[in-house]
Structure 1
Amino acid sequence: MAGESAHSTEYVAICAATKDAGPDVREWADYHLRLGVARIYLFDTDNPEPVEPDIADFINQGRVEYYYLPRVTPITIKLYDLCLRHASPLHAFIAFIDVDEFLVMASAERARGLPGLLKEFEQHGALAVNWRLLGPGGHAIQPGGGVLQNFLACTPVQYPENRHIKSIVNTKFVRGTSSDPHHFEYAAGASAVTLAGEQVTEAMSATVSGDRMMLYHYATKSMSQYSGKMVKGSGMGNRKGAEFLTRIDGASTEICTDALTSCKELGMEACANVTLPVGTA
């Protein structure tokens, strides 16, 4: 597959596998393309209703490379391996995240976008970005409007499960996938590091780095949406129970507006007329 230099307009891409995600995919794709992602490789799996119509313009523009796999539920890590081999020659960095995860940069970082931040990590195997889990925030059913405007209840930065990381791999050093979708294998002498410079060799970091960028993980959305997710399972074949929803809901004791603010600053239609909650900035 022909492409531009990995250090030009194709600097950073995303590989993602989605399973029955619905129209929320458009908000997710639009957000990351505006953040500076050059291309998204999207695998739509085990889904009788493809998300293609929701992102048709992005596909036609060549900004989303879309693969519809309706009758199979492949393991996400196998799709990651396929995408890694396919896309690595075209990009300096590839982020491996899910469609319920948004890269949210702190206000001081937003002006230069994701490519500007990643340039600091060109000598490392990957940038490991910590989660920030968000709960249902009182929504029993799916609310009208987008994810970023509706789900603001979040866990504190140092919540233990936020030690989980996802990887934005440096294609110069990455050598393959590992046993899970969180971390990868790298050339000798290279490793993933957090934004604080901490080396990460597994699915979780020792500490949470949350001052420059975090991966906002909308793991539950509304209670009814989570119930459906429990039945269908994830692309990795996981089926979390009701205990997870209760735990994340109870731990989401803060209000996070950075994702919504970023959405507005990026000029997204989904957030254009949304007012920030009173007392937040």
Structure 2
Amino acid sequence: MFWKSRTISKIGLTPPAPFETRAPLAICLIVKDEETHIGEWAKFHIRAGVDHIFVYDNGSSDKTVPIIRDALGDKVTILPWDQKLCDGRSKAEIHNQVLAYAHCLRNFGAGYRWMAFIDVDEFLVPTAEASIPDALAPLADKAQISLPWHMFGRCGHEKPPAGGILANYTQRMKDPLSSEHALNWKCIVDPCKVTGVRVHGFDIENAPITVNDVGLLAQLDDRKNKAFYSNAAIQLNHYYTRSNAELQAKVNRGSNKTVDSQKHLKRVMRIVDAIEKDTVTDTSVADFLARRSAS
């Protein structure tokens, strides 16, 4: 009997052969209707040393696409990605984000030593160096880096504040590992060694192995171990809620998968409660920008 699943969330692939010369770093991003924050996100990552951003547009009806194109010029490639696909036999939905990641790896990965897979509410923040490539330099012999979410809540903002995300959201969940509801990872990989693709972890040469940002090796399933936690080189800031108004819009928009709306609401609010239960002031972005200006 053909195995059935409601969602196909892992895709295997044959990785591309690397070009003789590869640029240091690209980001793969899937978006929909993010005109409010996409410009800030894009400019920050280019300033942090990203060479190119591949944007998979999942049917935006606002100004997301022209804003990021205007912000990045020839440093962005935009691909239409508005679709819901399923397996023709089991009717299992193919996770559209995983599909975008696999497409990006196979079609563009050959030209980059590193490729990061994050969302528009996530920022890669170097915590000691003046750029992301500098922070990655000690990991030149590695193929996958797993970065835990550092989750930021509403920070008292009912509506989107003037001045953007980075300057206004400085309170985050104190312990990133303290709640399974608000814990996950995003990854930076060598595209030419990836053989399996999921949103939160990749197979490297057919093995589910990774390192943290200082090179400690682990299996993907063992990343929850406190000994694996690190933000010594790069911190992944996840601005999960932004303002309360934006949180409500997030809930109303629904999941990027086909799921019951009430289940989605309960899941989101469990995460919000975990984020805002115990917080600490986080100046990682301000500290990085100061180092960047001084370099």
Map 1:114-129 to 2 at 5 A.
114-129=132-147
What residue in structure 1 maps to residue 240 of structure 2? Answer: 219
**Equivalent position of 1:169 in the other structure:** 189
Change (3 A) 1:17 1:204: farther
1:158–1:24 CA distance, 2 compared to 1 (3 A): closer
Please tell me whether the aligned partners of residues 171 and 281 of structure 2 are also in contact (alpha carbons under 8 angstroms).
yes
TM-score, normalization by structure 2: 0.78
- The percent identity for this pair of structures is 25
In structure 2, the residue matched to 1:279 is none
Which residue of structure 2 aligns with residue 79 of structure 1?
Answer: 100
Describe the shift of the 1:232–1:46 C-alpha distance in structure 2 as closer, same or farther (beyond 3 A): farther
The answer for unaligned runs of 5 or more in structure 1 is 268-281
Q: Report the alpha carbon displacement of residue 142 of structure 1 after superposing the two structures with TM.
A: 1.4
Q: Is the aligned partner of 1:64 residue 2:83? A: no
Q: 1:190: Cα distance to partner?
A: 8.0
Could you tell me how far 1:266 is from its partner in structure 2?
A: 4.2
Matches within 5 A, 1:1-281: 5-7=20-22, 10-60=23-73, 62-69=74-81, 75-106=96-127, 108-110=128-130, 113-161=131-179, 163-178=183-198, 181-188=199-206, 191-196=209-214, 197-202=216-221, 204-207=223-226, 208-236=229-257, 239=264, 240-251=267-278, 253-263=279-289, 265-266=291-292
- Secondary structure at the aligned position of 2:166 is classed as helix
Kindly state the Cα deviation for residue 55 of structure 1 after the two structures are TM-superposed. 2.0
Cα shift readout 1:48-79 (whole Å, capped 9, x = no counterpart): 1141221233453x101112445769621111
For 1:117 and 1:258, locate their aligned partners in 2 and report how far apart those are by CA, in whole Å.
14
Alignment CA distance shift 1:200-1:20 (3 Å): farther
Pick closer, same or farther for the CA change 1:121–1:193 going to 2, 3 Å. same
Q: TM-score, normalised by structure 1?
A: 0.81
Amino acid at match of 1:102: F
Secondary structure of 1:138's match? coil
- Match of 2:104, SS state, is helix
On the 8 A contact 2:57/2:78 being kept in 1, the answer is yes
Which amino acid in structure 1 is aligned with residue 240 of structure 2? A
CA–CA separation in structure 2 for the residues paired with 1:59 and 1:237: 32
CA contact (8 A) 1:183 1:201 kept: yes
When the two chains are superposed, the root-mean-square deviation of aligned CA atoms in Å is 2.6
| Displacement of 1:159 | 3.7
Which is greater in Rg?
Answer: 2
**Displacement of 1:204:** 4.2
Q: Deviation per CA, 1:97-135, whole angstroms, max 9, x where unpaired? A: 1110001121x322xx21122232232221111211111
For 2:225, give the aligned amino acid.
A
8 Å contact from structure 1 (residues 16, 41) kept in 2: yes
Q: Any idea what SS the aligned residue of 1:150 has?
A: coil
Equivalences, count: 256
